[in-house]
Amino acid sequence: MARAWRRAAPPAEDPAVRSRSGIELLDVGHTYGDRVVLREVSLVLPEHRVAVIGSNGSGKSTLARLLNGLVLPTSGRVLVDGLDTATDLRAVRRRVGFVFQDPDAQIVHPTVAEDVAFGLQNQRVPAAERDQRVTEVLARYGLTEHADHPAHLLSGGQKQLLAIAGVLVMRPARVVFDEPTTLLDLANRRRVGRVIEELEQDVVVVTHDLDLLAGFDRVLVVEDGRVVADGGPDETVGWYVARMS
Amino acid sequence: MSTLALYSPRLSPLHRTPAGVKLAALGALSVLLFAVPRLPVAPAALAVVVVLALGGARLTPRQLLAQLRPVWLWLVGLLAFHLVVTDLASGSLAVLRLAALVLAAAVVTATSKVADLVAVIEWLCAPLRLVGVRPGRIGLAIAMTLRFIPLVAERGARIREAQAARGATRPMFLMLVPLLVQVLQLAHTTAEALDARGADDEPPPRPLWRRS
């Protein structure tokens, strides 16, 4: 099995004495029925921007879903800032926003502004503050003029921006993106790429879009449920491209 | 714009009127039209609704006609049925009554944000907390229904196009299974998205009989 620039797994001491900041996966495995999707993955992710690449079915989307508890590990533990996704699920989800590949599945309200407000309503944010934050985030992503428009009439790029706005308005400390540019044209891919680049939050991006990875701090290559390469974007992407050739 | 694009943002007196008041007026109109089944009442109600739509809500005649387009065949059928079974007066009464209600409902939805309408429904459902029901869930279900009807229709259209491109002769019949599969996949991802966006943060209320 090829392993390039693999970082050492975290030591297996008591989690209480380990760093409390960042994402940690401790011997994480996951199975769907008899199918093993992830095998004994151990990672510490303190970096600002981390990308996960790999073939279809390699386990990278499951890895992303583990980070905010959408999927719980079958074995091992996932810690976010010291919080275990298995036992502190709601607290973890407040810290980790998740942007899905298909924005249509993520937009749950008929109009743009109402959908952005949805997460804030769940967090019981007072109406005045909610309106202010919705207005701010719509302006930030160029959606103000669409605020009262039906979400299904937006373009694909606008829908993805709406999905991102709906997550960011909740002010998570980290954001996980699962193939955010897969359904987009070149202009919108670049636009979403700039949005990710400008985020103050720590981000983990699962993607097939290798152009997105310039400037990332760390890139992981997942294959057959394992992290087979781990390092800076230039060397890791180069290794991955050579392997796929 | 789709007929499901309900809200029509404008500055008008009816837009400023609380959604609860408009829903109550719509309910009162419905009761009136069926409690007083006389011919002068239905056309008068229709006229008032049209005046309110054009003047009070500042909708365009085109928007109003668009609301009648999905039901005009029903209206014609209803009139024809009455002409055969009863008489012209009864048929006119039934058609005008239905048209007045359809347009009144359109005025309410065109001048009220879905969130405001849903808030009224959640308020009306608040007593259901006593039996352990979350009114917020009812409101969310209504909002999601409005959101996903056009999306499912769009997915269905895509499947029909794909099947037609490959020579399917009965695409309406053949699209059911792939559409069902797509809708189930969509439902799964949407359920994940609801979790990720904190929809489960509110604990269910304890039913009255389980409270100490």
Global pTM value:
0.80
pLDDT tens digits along A179-211: 999 888 899 999 999 999 999 999 999 999 999
pLDDT score of A20: 55
> Does any CB of chain A come closer than 8 Å to the CB of residue B211?
no
Tokens of B64: 């109003």
pLDDT score of B52: 94
Chain B CA closest to residue A151: B147
Contact yes or no for A71/A25 (Cβ under 8 A): no
Q: Which residues of B touch A124 (CB under 8 A)?
A: 201
Helix (H) or strand (E) holding B89: helix B88-111
Task: Render A201-228 in DSSP notation, one character per residue.
Answer: SEEEEE-S-GGGGTT-SEEEEEETTEEE
State residue B63 phi and psi, 5-degree precision. Answer: -65, -40
State the nearest Cα–Cα gap between A26 and chain B, in angstroms.
Answer: 22
Query: How far is residue B199's CA from residue B24's CA, in Å, rounded to a whole number?
Result: 29
Q: Looking at chain A from residue 84 to 143, which residues have their Cβ under 8 Å from any Cβ of chain B? A: 90, 93-94, 97-98, 100, 102, 104-111, 114-115, 117-119, 122-124
pLDDT score of A244: 87
pLDDT score of B160: 87
Q: How confident is the model at residue B171 (pLDDT cuts 50, 70, 90)?
A: low
Please give the domain boundaries of chain A with CATH numbers for all domains.
15-107+156-163+170-244 (3.40.50.300)
**B206 pLDDT above the threshold of 80:** no
> Does any CB of chain A come closer than 8 Å to the CB of residue B7?
yes
What is the pLDDT averaged over residues B98-109? Answer: 93
pLDDT score of B212: 65
Q: Looking at chain B from residue 78 to 137, which residues have their Cβ under 8 Å from any Cβ of chain A? A: 113-115
CB contact under 8 A, B196 and A122: no
What is the pLDDT averaged over residues B47-72? Answer: 90
pLDDT score of B5: 53
CB contact under 8 A, A105 and B199: no
What contacts B63, CB < 8 A, 6 or more positions away?
B8, B106, B110
Contact yes or no for A155/A104 (Cβ under 8 A): no
**A9 pLDDT above the threshold of 50:** no
What is the pLDDT averaged over residues A205-219? Answer: 93
Q: Residue B117's closest CA among B6, B4, B1, B3?
A: B6
pLDDT score of B199: 83
Q: Looking at chain B from residue 30 to 69, which residues have their Cβ under 8 Å from any Cβ of chain A? A: none
SS3 for B63-78 is HHHHHHHHHHHHHHHH
Query: Which of B183, B197, B200, B201 has the highest number of chain A CBs within 10 A, making it the mutation to test binding with A?
Result: B197
**A10 pLDDT above the threshold of 80:** no
Percent of chain B with pLDDT over 90: 49
**A5 pLDDT above the threshold of 60:** no
For chain B, the domains span 13-112, 131-210
Q: For residues B175, B177, B179 and B183, what is the CA-based torsion angle, rounded to 10 degrees?
A: 170
CB contact under 8 A, A170 and B151: no
> Does any CB of chain A come closer than 8 Å to the CB of residue B143?
yes
